[in-house]
Amino acid sequence: MNIIDISSDLLRAEVYPGDPEPRVHAIQRLDNDDEFDVTALYACLHSGTHVDAPSHVFSQMEDPDFYKTVTDLPLEKFIGPVTVVDIPPGPLTGREIERYFPRFSDRIILRCHGDFEFFAGAADDVAALGYQLIGFEGLAHGGKNEAAFHRALLGAGTVLLEGLDLSALNRGGDYFLFAPPVKLDGLEAAPARAILIEDHIIWRK
């Protein structure tokens, strides 16, 4: 079984402008004659490889029909066949959506070869395709209106897997994804360890 880790290192990954830098604090250390190594972590939930839930952009009071936290999301969204899609750098418009985005996949991961962003309306075009999950190399690129981009996809039931490191992939195409979020009850996001399985596997009862 060929397993490919596509997670980024939480402490070294790109940080969204304005978010706090992840840091660790040594509570106990064997080098200090403590009995254990014990470390505390402080990080934004949107740093490194992570999952965005609808409650990232929808409030429980104003948008009860769309409001879901990370623990409300079905785990099957994060486990199953996935297609890695190579997209060109630059703006993604309806034309690029029509050309590059598969119609018969439940999950896709976007592998870019340079900077890209969704132009106005393109996120709505993608949302209409009904994906369970979209993964992004690095952070998601919503363009000038990140909130509208997130609302279009998360409102359509598509969860976002951001902060992926696809440098170990030799190709696009079909894989098997395993990337469930950490269980953090009631929160809008959670870290995830994302892996792809390249060769064929058979699940047995």
Average pLDDT of the residues of the chain = 91
User: For a pLDDT cut of 70, what percent of the chain falls above it?
Assistant: 94
Split at pLDDT 50, 70, 90, the class of 91 is confident
Q: Best-predicted range by mean pLDDT among 79-88, 111-120, 139-148?
A: 79-88
Virtual torsion, Cα 170, 171, 175, 177, nearest 10 deg? 60
Structure tokens at 165: 């490191």
- The residue written with tokens 């486990």 in the block is 79
| pLDDT of 142 | 65
Check pLDDT > 70 for residue 200: no
Q: What is the pLDDT of residue 113?
A: 73
What is the mean pLDDT of the segment spanning 115-128? 86
pLDDT of residue 16 exceeding 90, the answer is: no
Residue whose entry in the numeric block shows the structure tokens 């509570």: 27
Tell whether the model's pLDDT for residue 205 goes beyond 90: no
Average pLDDT over residues 16-38: 95
Q: How confident is the model at residue 146 (pLDDT cuts 50, 70, 90)?
A: confident
Is residue 53 within 8 Å of 158, Cβ to Cβ?
no
Mean pLDDT of 21-35: 96
pLDDT of res. 17: 87
pLDDT at residue 201 above 80? Answer: no
DSSP-assigned states of every residue in the chain:
--EEE-BPPTTTS---TTSPPPEEEEEE-GGGT-SS-EEEEE--TTSSSEEE-GGGT--TTT-TTT---GGGS-GGGGEEEEEEEEE-SEEE-HHHHHHHS-SS-SEEEEEESS-EEEPTTHHHHHHTT--SEEEEEBS---TT-HHHHHHHHHHTT-EEEEEE--TT-S--EEEEEE-PBP--TT-SEEEB--EEE-S------
Give mean pLDDT, residues 33-37.
96
In this prediction, residues 107-113 reach a mean pLDDT of 91
pLDDT of residue 103: 92
Average pLDDT over residues 4-26: 94
The pLDDT of 52-59, averaged and rounded, is 94
